[in-house]
Structure 1
Amino acid sequence: MHHQQTELQKGLKIRHITMISLGGIIGAGLFIGSGSLINMAGPASIFSYAFAGLLVVLVMRMLGEMSIVNPSSGSFATYAREALGQWAGYTIGWLYWFFWVIVIAVESIAGANIIQYWFPSLPSWSLSLLLTFLLTLTNMYSVKSFGEFEYWFSLIKVVSIALFLILGGAIIFGLIPGVESPGTSNLLHRGGFLPNGISSIFLGITLVMFSFMGSEIVATAAGETKNPEKAITVATNSVIYRILIFYLGSILVLVTILPWDSHTLLKNPFVSVLEILKIPAAAQIMNFIVLTAVLSCLNSGLYSSSRMLLTMAQNGDAPRMFLKINKKGVPLQAILGCTAISYISVGFNYLSPDKIFLFLVNASGGVALLVYLVIAFSHLRMRRKYEKENPEALKIKMWLFPYLTYATILAIIVLFIAMAFIDSLRSQFFLTTLIALSVIGSFFVSKNKKSIDLLPEEQNQMSLHSKAE
């Protein structure tokens, strides 16, 4: 056992981490999903994004504080285990892994549908498997290859959003000849700024939270860079302007230029803005950008799920076969394990899209909120521990501790419970709760089974090892 390499490769550079932190928050949800939210809440949808963004900023601040003291590829699952107990690390680790393997399947299917726009004769199922296979290869080769692909995917997304904001601003301020500025007509004169009431903002927040999932990947990736402290500092400090510029900036441009009740929003609001400028092949350009966002999410999903599976195996919560790390410092078996589950999920989409696959997607729907909740609870305990044992290690500190941490916990709990009272999210609430309770139950069942199977001497060794941790 000891001759086997157990160290992940420190192959990610600061430029990789910087660009991953910038582009990681920009997903297909922004390019496509934002339209339906604006159509539902009107111009006030910007408040939904602002509040959800604020929660993510606070959670990322907590995660950054813990990560800079203890950089780990297991990230928040490691901190949950240390702060709340083995059951918490086990539960949130498996839930997070489950979330990402389902996302890999969803994104591969979305990517296949986009490619069919150009090549309609190719079967969607084969394209889904091909995309997953190709990005699996990049993750298998080295962590540096993952970083390079994610760097360029993120760069394309960041440049695209930056150009969109410049063009949108030019339209709003009437700087483009032949294109009339909408002024405030779409903001105030189509039923007002809050056409569907305050409840639509609240509903929007619960939907938007899922769009921000992925911000936490940087904390995992920092464990595979030679300078984790600098990487985490860059990612943590930049999260505010990432959300402010990329999300709030884009939504402000969209709600100002496009009528909130327009049906074009339900297709692709970004294409609609480009068509106002009479840009040739606007749909083609946007399809390419959305495909980039999808591939980026797929790439990140394979990386995140494999690292979480490796961490679970290291803690004895997953089969030991996933412990193996090859000569390039890559957890090969963990990557293949995640890929295999995603292949199965893609198969479910074509065999039973309205039952099994829909169940899996809905069951993962509330995981984002549970992950953020566990990070916040872990932070409460870990911050007090760090202040007693190693206060000089706190290079990044959560603002107004513990009050903002308590406020974040309360807000997340309210949002999660609110899902039970929203028709479109009720099934996600109950299925996520069911899956979470099942995972917690499996922990205690497996723990009891291990205790029965172990010899008395082994039980004593396990107990001593647990205390040492």
Structure 2
Amino acid sequence: MEDPFAHEQEGFHKGLGARQLQMIAIGSAIGTGLFLGTGGRLQAAGPSLAIIYAVCGFFGYLILRALGELIVHRPSSGSFVSYTREFYGEKSAYVAGWLYWLNWAMTAVADATAIAIYIAWFGQYSDAVSAIPQWVLALIVVVIVVALNLVSVKVFGEMEFWFALIKIVALLTFMVVGICFLIFGSPSGQPTGFHLIADSGGMLPNGMLPALIVVQGVVFAYAGIELVGTTSGETKDVERIIPRAINTVVLRIAVFYVGSVVLLCLLLPYTQYSDNESPFVTFFESVGVDYAAPIMQLVVITAAASSMNAGMYSTGRILHSMAVAGSAPKIAAKISKGGVPVAGILLTAVVALFGVALNYWVPEEAFEIVLNIAAIGTMASWAAIALSHQKFLSLVKQGQYTRPGYRAPGGRFADWAVIVFIAGVMVLIAFDYPVGTWTLISLLVVIPLLIGGWFVVRKRVYEYAALRDGYTGQFPVIARTHGTDRFRNDDYNHGSGNIKNHFEE
């Protein structure tokens, strides 16, 4: 049967191989959330942060496996937005797509802010660097990353491969050094071991509520694991490569996140970490390895650049998927000869420039503000994946689809468990006063904008859907197929009216 969504892939190149996808899958989830955000979250939650990373990582695993099954069912650069369209219709895909775009656009702002903070750290060694305002550094970063992202998917793949490799080598180096210090003692003579946790107030030194509130920041740290879905449309041999990438990435991320946090707590009291410096830099400075701290700072700059690069890549593809469906500006559907959705990437770059302005107005709060907004976008994308997967399984049960060989564990129960988890995180964001509370209040602006935007684009969306399904008459007739709104030719004539009226019948 002809794939009605095949047009979403027109113009893209199969430029990503197994080597690149493995590193993208790992590296996309190891960025500013771990390298910068962990310091502030350790300060707030204490050693219990390791448990929080493990719990959130488990739900991230369920999400990845559900997405993996959908990918093998039908690879698409539109990822879960395309699956939402397939199983729930155009309106749901419109909401999921724009919230995901908001997520990565805000992540780009967070990454630009983080990189500016990282570079400013070198001001202690250079008066020239200290004289550069944070917003200027953020602007330079945005321009460089956007320019590199506009070349081709192969360039993106290679950049992400080496970015991810640098991050992984740095984390492994830290873990090896940290374990050696635990076994043989620190050269500087400072104490290490589990007693540091006991002497600093135990696992929950600041109580349960501060530990729970950092959950949304941990979710942001895991944001990016769903990028493997976006890359599937430009990956060779999807049925073999995607399952392998997903199966390996979950264990590695768990080791890097949970293992790193546990080591950090065993090497220094949690109180020595802060939100304005990478905890890895804090550790190396504490043991007197002066040259290691600047090297690690360069690594975390690479990590943030990698995350931002991935965000630009992802939003360009998502906006393209939405544009060919009519729910994003037409220009976002254009693809260069190199297979790059240039306009979609540039649209995200405009928002990143807003982040530059945020760094000018409130440089101290910029990172936390956009982190909370990005966390909401991540929650929306995870919910879209879980809901799409459970709908897919429901239709499988009805005999309308066949499950692929690669299947998510837990079935629909796991999908609903993810939904409950997401609802809990949204409640916790509300308790994170003032930033989290005001972030949720900002939805009072976002929701009306989404509703207004739908009324602007809906006629075009219906027209595109009618053309996609091969309708050649004046007005479409609705056929409910697989739970979504599908158009077909029919001898039945509605007479006069418009697309919207017929759609709502």
- TM-score after normalising by structure 2: 0.83
Instruction: Give deviations 1:282-317, integer Å, cap 9, x for gaps.
Output: 331121011001110111111011111111101111
* Residue aligned with 2:204, SS: coil
Mapped to 2, the partners of 1:451 and 1:61 lie a distance apart of 32
Mapped to 2, the partners of 1:209 and 1:427 lie a distance apart of 18
Among 44, 55, 72, which residue is 2:48 paired with? 44
Matched, 1:304 2:314: yes
Instruction: Give deviations 1:120-171, integer Å, cap 9, x for gaps.
Output: 3445444333322222222221100001111111000000001111111111
Work out whether residues 106 and 373 of structure 2, in 8 Å CA contact, stay in contact via their aligned partners in 1: no
* Residue aligned with 1:423, SS: coil
Matches within 5 A, 1:424-439: 424=434, 425-432=436-443, 434-436=445-447, 438-439=449-450
Shift of 1:112: 3.1
1:6 is matched with which residue?
10
Work out whether residues 362 and 432 of structure 1, in 8 Å CA contact, stay in contact via their aligned partners in 2: no
Query: Are residues 347 and 188 of structure 1, via their aligned partners in 2, closer, same or farther at CA, if it must alter by over 3 Å?
Result: closer
Instruction: Give deviations 1:243-272, integer Å, cap 9, x for gaps.
Output: 321100000001111112235676332123
Work out whether residues 15 and 154 of structure 2, in 8 Å CA contact, stay in contact via their aligned partners in 1: yes
1:460 is matched with which residue?
475
Instruction: Give deviations 1:48-85, integer Å, cap 9, x for gaps.
Output: 11111111111111111111111111101111122222
Among 72, 84, 105, which residue is 1:80 paired with? 84
Instruction: Give deviations 1:391-441, integer Å, cap 9, x for gaps.
Output: 3x5222121222222222112112212322332421122224641453145
Shift of 1:443: 1.7
Matched to 2:150, the amino acid is M
Q: How large is the Cα RMSD of the aligned pairs?
A: 3.1
Mapped to 1, the partners of 2:301 and 2:389 lie a distance apart of 36
Matched, 1:16 2:20: yes
Work out whether residues 365 and 429 of structure 1, in 8 Å CA contact, stay in contact via their aligned partners in 2: no
Matches within 5 A, 1:138-157: 138-157=148-167
Query: Are residues 402 and 126 of structure 1, via their aligned partners in 2, closer, same or farther at CA, if it must alter by over 3 Å?
Result: same
Work out whether residues 75 and 220 of structure 1, in 8 Å CA contact, stay in contact via their aligned partners in 2: yes
Query: Are residues 108 and 359 of structure 1, via their aligned partners in 2, closer, same or farther at CA, if it must alter by over 3 Å?
Result: closer
2:345 is matched with which residue?
335
Mapped to 2, the partners of 1:449 and 1:217 lie a distance apart of 28
Q: Structure 1 or 2: larger helix share?
A: 1
Mapped to 1, the partners of 2:363 and 2:185 lie a distance apart of 47
Matched to 1:346, the amino acid is V
| Percentage identity across paired residues of the two chains | 32
Shift of 1:384: 2.6
Matches within 5 A, 1:325-404: 325-347=335-357, 349-350=359-360, 363-386=373-396, 388-391=399-402, 393-404=403-414
Work out whether residues 451 and 459 of structure 1, in 8 Å CA contact, stay in contact via their aligned partners in 2: no
Work out whether residues 220 and 371 of structure 2, in 8 Å CA contact, stay in contact via their aligned partners in 1: no
Query: Are residues 29 and 145 of structure 1, via their aligned partners in 2, closer, same or farther at CA, if it must alter by over 3 Å?
Result: same
Work out whether residues 20 and 160 of structure 2, in 8 Å CA contact, stay in contact via their aligned partners in 1: yes
Query: Are residues 363 and 28 of structure 1, via their aligned partners in 2, closer, same or farther at CA, if it must alter by over 3 Å?
Result: closer
Work out whether residues 366 and 432 of structure 1, in 8 Å CA contact, stay in contact via their aligned partners in 2: no
Mapped to 2, the partners of 1:98 and 1:12 lie a distance apart of 25
Mapped to 2, the partners of 1:329 and 1:449 lie a distance apart of 25
Q: Where does structure 1 lack aligned partners over 5 or more consecutive residues?
A: none
Matches within 5 A, 1:230-249: 230-249=240-259
Mapped to 1, the partners of 2:393 and 2:328 lie a distance apart of 28
Deviates more, 1:58-67 or 1:195-204: 195-204
* Residue aligned with 1:303, SS: helix
2:278 is matched with which residue?
268
Matched, 1:33 2:37: yes
Matched to 1:326, the amino acid is S
- Report how many aligned residue pairs link the two structures: 464
Work out whether residues 57 and 239 of structure 1, in 8 Å CA contact, stay in contact via their aligned partners in 2: no
Q: Where does structure 2 lack aligned partners over 5 or more consecutive residues?
A: 1-6, 489-505
Mapped to 1, the partners of 2:370 and 2:193 lie a distance apart of 44
Shift of 1:175: 5.5
Among 167, 175, 179, which residue is 1:169 paired with? 179
* Residue aligned with 1:467, SS: strand
Among 214, 233, 238, which residue is 1:223 paired with? 233
Deviates more, 1:122-131 or 1:320-329: 122-131
Mapped to 2, the partners of 1:260 and 1:123 lie a distance apart of 30
- TM-score after normalising by structure 1: 0.89
Deviates more, 1:367-376 or 1:347-356: 347-356
Matches within 5 A, 1:413-424: 413-424=423-434
Matched, 1:93 2:93: no
Query: Are residues 433 and 25 of structure 1, via their aligned partners in 2, closer, same or farther at CA, if it must alter by over 3 Å?
Result: farther
Among 265, 273, 276, which residue is 1:255 paired with? 265
2:493 is matched with which residue?
none
Shift of 1:359: 7.2
Shift of 1:32: 2.0
Work out whether residues 393 and 412 of structure 2, in 8 Å CA contact, stay in contact via their aligned partners in 1: no
* Residue aligned with 2:243, SS: helix
